[in-house]
């Protein structure tokens, strides 16, 4: 066993970019690596079409974990694996000494120390590290949408939102997951998808401690505690805790089914139902029972 570990360490030392890496890579460092890897795609239209920059050559295994010796095809897959080792003990903030039971909470807390001056939104109290980010965010609260799509005329409050929307028409998906090779139109969607592999849930409810992988799911969940239902249907007066559920409900009245299957043309009112339907054609069964290994198309069948 010791001999195998020694061989793995020697192999690691021969790879320059791995020999310098620390054994435990924190979640924040992992996503920083992800940002750096894809930063050119936000600024270069030419680069966004070159998917070959994202997908490593999978014919050779050259990335070795110097903690347990496991070998991976790509550096990003190795970084993803390191998260397994990074959640083994309590985490302490070196700035203020505050202790956290889970590293994801420490990562979120560290953002407080990142900037001497935080820029705070007066409407939702969300904080930003620079004025430009705050200004861009504030446009989401206003009704002003100066950026219009030349193809479908849909308008947006931010230029970046329009740029991401245009990829729906161009079919460009420049962001590829190095774990499963699935493609995405934006880096944000790729990051969210990565949490399926890392099992990371950085958004934690302060009331009941339930954790979520995306922030809007936490916001929707919090309304269960506050009992707030500000979104009211003008047709039947039914109230909802968030605008998305109201939007889905309105399709009962309008009979709108905007999500159409490219294979059989069946239409759906909800995108998640279309996604589930597509698995009939692709034979995909992503939900696997840990006890008997039986796979299902729908997660509800796994329960």
The CATH number of the domain where 266 resides is what?
Answer: 3.30.160.60
Using the predicted structure, report yes or no on whether residue 265 has a pLDDT greater than 80: yes
Neighbours of 103 (CB within 10 A): 21
pLDDT in tens, 18-63: 333 333 344 555 555 555 555 544 444 444 433 333 333 334 446 7
Q: How far is CA 12 from CA 22, 56, 135, 271, 296, in A?
A: 12, 18, 45, 44, 39
- Do 125 and 180 fall into the same domain? no
Dihedrals phi, psi of 150, to nearest 5 degrees: -70, -15
Inside any domain, residue 48: no
Q: Is the dihedral of CA 194, 200, 204, 210 positive or negative?
A: positive
Residue 107 or residue 199, greater confidence = 199
Which pLDDT tens digit goes with each residue over 71-98? 766 776 776 666 655 544 456 777 666 6
Q: Are residues 107 and 162 in the same domain?
A: no
pTM of the model: 0.35
Residue 82 and residue 135 in one domain? yes
* pLDDT for 16 beyond 50: no
Whether 53 is in a domain gets the answer no
Number of domains composing the chain: 3
Asked if the structure places residue 160 within a domain, the reply is yes
- Residue 259 is predicted with a pLDDT of 86
Q: Is residue 60 part of a domain?
A: no
Same structural domain, 85 and 130: yes
| Cα distances (angstroms) measured from residue 275 to each of 124, 152, 246, 267, 272 | 32, 23, 20, 11, 5
Task: Report the length, in residues, of the chain.
Answer: 303
**Domain around 174:** 145-200
What is the mean pLDDT of the segment spanning 206-230? 83
Stretch 235-243: mean pLDDT, rounded? 84
């Amino acid at each position: 066993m010791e001999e195998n570990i020694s061989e793995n360490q020697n192999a690691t030392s021969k790879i320059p970019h791995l020999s310098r890496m620390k054994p435990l890579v924190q979640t924040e460092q992992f996503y920083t690596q992800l940002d750096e890897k894809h930063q050119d795609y936000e600024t270069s239209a030419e680069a966004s079409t070159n998917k070959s920059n994202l997908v490593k050559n999978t014919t050779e295994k050259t990335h070795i974990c110097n903690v347990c010796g496991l070998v991976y095809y790509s550096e990003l897959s190795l970084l993803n694996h390191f998260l397994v080792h990074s959640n083994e003990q309590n985490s302490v903030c070196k700035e203020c000494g505050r202790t956290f039971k889970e590293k994801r909470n420490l990562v979120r807390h560290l953002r407080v120390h990142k900037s001497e001056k935080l820029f705070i939104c007066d409407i939702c109290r969300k904080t930003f590290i620079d004025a430009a980010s705050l200004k861009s965010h504030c446009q989401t609260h206003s009704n002003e949408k100066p950026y219009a799509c030349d193809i479908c005329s849909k308008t947006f409050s931010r230029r970046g939102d329009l740029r991401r929307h245009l990829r729906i028409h161009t079919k460009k998906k420049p962001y590829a997951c190095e774990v499963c090779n699935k493609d995405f139109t934006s880096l944000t969607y790729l990051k969210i998808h990565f949490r399926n592999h890392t099992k990371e849930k950085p958004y934690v409810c302060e009331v009941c401690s339930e954790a979520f992988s995306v922030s809007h799911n936490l916001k929707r969940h919090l309304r269960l505690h506050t009992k707030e239902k500000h979104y009211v249907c003008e047709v039947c007066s039914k109230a909802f805790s968030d605008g998305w559920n109201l939007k889905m409900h309105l399709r009962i009245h309008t009979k709108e089914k905007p999500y159409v299957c490219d294979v059989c043309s069946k239409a759906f009112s909800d995108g998640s139902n279309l996604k589930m339907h597509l698995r009939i054609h692709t034979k995909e069964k992503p939900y696997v029972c840990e006890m008997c290994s039986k796979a299902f198309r729908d997660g509800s069948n796994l329960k």
